[in-house]
Amino acid sequence: MDAMSDLVGQYLRVRRALGYKLNNAEDILNRFVAYLEVRDADRVSVADAVGFATAPPARTARTQALRLSAVRCFTRWAHCQDPSIEVPPARLLPARPSRVAPYIYTAEQLDALLEATGRLQPPERAATYQTLIGLMAATGIRTGEAIGLDTSSFDPHAGILTVTGKYGKRRMLPLHSTVADALTGYLKQRRHLPGAHSDHALLVSTRGTRLHLSTVHATFRPLTAEAGLGTASSACRHRLHDLRHTFAVSTMLDAYRRGDDPAVVLPVLSTWLGHTEPRDTYWYLTGTAELLEAAATRLDTTDEERALT
């Protein structure tokens, strides 16, 4: 198993040199090596890979499929080093991707949420979380992207926000004047916080340090109850990330209502959200009643125009 551990280490180094993080894959592969060691396996077989993927505590089909996928990617590479290593066939454990139903906030609900956030204590904490929620709602950036912003990320004179997204890719977002003014006002308000001058973070805690993701989520959950937002169903609960979904839906809804061509708007929205391809943006376009109605109206109008020609 020492040789197998070495192969796993080589595989991770090669893949990471290509830009992959593989944090979850590393954990899975280390557990796979331990699984083989317990069974005193002298080589990697398809049966071993499937046995590991389906062993407890893999409670769901998706978890089993993800485990086997990580092992399969590794064995495809390792087979070139050692032909005795068997590669599991593709789709041996198929699983449909699971998706949490996004909660699409209305304008009234966002106002109620910001009002509830304004009641946090002390006032500096309220200002930080109001800025965080307002910025995510107005720009659709990811929670991690918002927390990762530095003071240098915001150019108040040009009204530009530079966001660092996945894989270190950067994009420059022109802000509406109200959003730029709100960020400028927040920066003035947080100047007296201890440590705020030494920390480069744009959004800071009451100690003047960068916000932590777990703390942000723990703060957000009670705010939805404080704002009186009920859950739509057991599969649709409030998440901070749903502000990104709401932004995408609202952008397309406004485009339909203005009579813009959605085929033109979608690539722009995709670039704004930091997606590589427009197909990644479809994930965020939840079929709300308003969006479907607007799409149907556009379709009817297009059919009428074709009939006249």
Q: Say how many C-beta atoms besides its own lie within 10 A of residue 299's C-beta.
A: 10
135 CB-near residues (< 8 Å, 6+ apart): 141, 146, 179, 182, 183
Per the DSSP assignment, residues forming a β-bridge with 161 are 154, 173
> Encoding tokens for residue 237?
């609960």
Q: 72, 190, 244, 245: which is the annotated catalytic residue?
A: 244
The yes-or-no answer on residue 275 being catalytic is yes
The yes-or-no answer on residue 176 being catalytic is no
Q: 142, 190, 238, 245: which is the annotated catalytic residue?
A: 142
The yes-or-no answer on residue 241 being catalytic is yes
d(CA 306, CA 309): 5
Q: 43, 119, 166, 200: which is the annotated catalytic residue?
A: 166
Q: Say how many C-beta atoms besides its own lie within 10 A of residue 56's C-beta.
A: 5
Q: 79, 171, 237, 241: which is the annotated catalytic residue?
A: 241
The yes-or-no answer on residue 166 being catalytic is yes
DSSP string covering 27-77: HHHHHHHHHHHHTT-SS--HHHHHHHHHSTT--SHHHHHHHHHHHHHHHHH
Active site residues: 142, 166, 241, 244, 275, 284
